[in-house]
Every structure is written in C-alpha cells, then in structure tokens.
Amino acid sequence: MKKQLFVVALCGTLLLGSGLSVMAFEKAGRGDGEGFRRGPQAGCRMGAASDPWKGLMAKLDLTEAQQQEVEKLTDGQREKAMEHRKQMSAIRQQMRQAMQPQSFNEKALRRLAAEQAKIKTEWMVNRAVTRSKIYALLTAEQKELVDLSAKLHRLQGPGAQGRRDCSGPMGYRGPSKK
C-alpha cells in the first residue's frame, strides 16, 4: 500500500513539475521574439526583430535608395508568399479529404501532391529571385560582408545560435565552390 501511494505521489509530482516547466517556458518566450513560431520562418530565428530584413539593412548599412528598393522587393515577395500559403492551405484541406479511409481517392491525392510540389517550387524560386535581386543591389563591400556572414553561418553548422539552417543573411550560402 505504501509503495502504491509513493508511486502515485511521484507521478503527480512529475506531472505538476513538467506542467510548470512548460508554462514557464511559454511565458519566458512571449513578446520578445522567442518561443514557438509558425510560417516560413518557423525554424529560422533571425533575431528578436519581427522583420529579418530590417536587421539585414542595419548590418549592411544600406543607403536610403537601397533600403527603399529592398523594401519594395520584400513586399512583393511577401505578397506572393501569402498567395502561396493560401493555395497550400486549400490543397492541404483537399488532401486530408482525399486521404480519408472512407473516401480514399489515390488519383486525386496524386494530383494534389503534384500541385503542392509545384507551389512549393514557385515559393522557393520566388524567394531565391528576391534574394538575388537584393544581392545585385549591394555594393562590393556589402556583398563581401554578406559572403563572409554566410561562410560564418556555414561553419557554425545547423542549430548554432538557436537556428536550424538559416544559411546566413537572406538565406544566401555564399559563392559556390566548383
């Protein structure tokens, strides 16, 4: 009887402790850019700033004209990304329906998966085009700084500084080694 009481007390303590830990973690992460994120930057913490491009502009000391052009490019990229997100959401909903065991439809599921892959490809290409256009705006010194920063991020490896693999500023991995 004492053993059972001890086990119940131990389990209760563990449950209470883990619940308090989760609450403390969530509270500590709110309001300062920390904690769990959703969306395209979910695994990629680019600092406490809500807009990673602002941090980039500050680090590169962009001119006013460069800042305006970067803002224009990133706004266009964000609009396209929002459109892609809406399309992906609709496709995911249709895919869930097609995967239901009661109404499984392999042909529809394959078509939807192909659509999803096409949208992901467009999303990725859109981001790369935007980065490429921003990189083209930079001066030689700014490009050198971006290249060095990308090299540093690669050397740190995935998971460094709380990031997954953000690959440096603008997701740029530096000049390719051929």
Provide the number of structural domains found in the chain: 1
pLDDT of the chain, 178 residues: tens digit per residue: 666 766 666 555 655 555 545 455 455 544 444 444 455 445 444 443 345 566 666 788 888 898 899 889 989 999 999 999 999 999 999 999 999 889 888 999 999 999 999 999 999 999 999 999 999 999 999 888 888 887 887 888 776 555 444 555 555 555 555 4
Range of the domain at 73: 63-153
Residue 124 forms part of a structural domain: yes
The answer to whether residue 139 sits within a structural domain is yes
Is residue 42 a part of any domain in this protein?
Answer: no
Examine residue 117 and state whether it is found in any structural domain, yes or no: yes
User: What DSSP state is assigned to residue 105?
Assistant: -
CATH number, domain containing residue 103: 1.20.120
Give the helix ranges, DSSP H, for the chain. 2-29, 52-60, 64-99, 106-137, 140-156
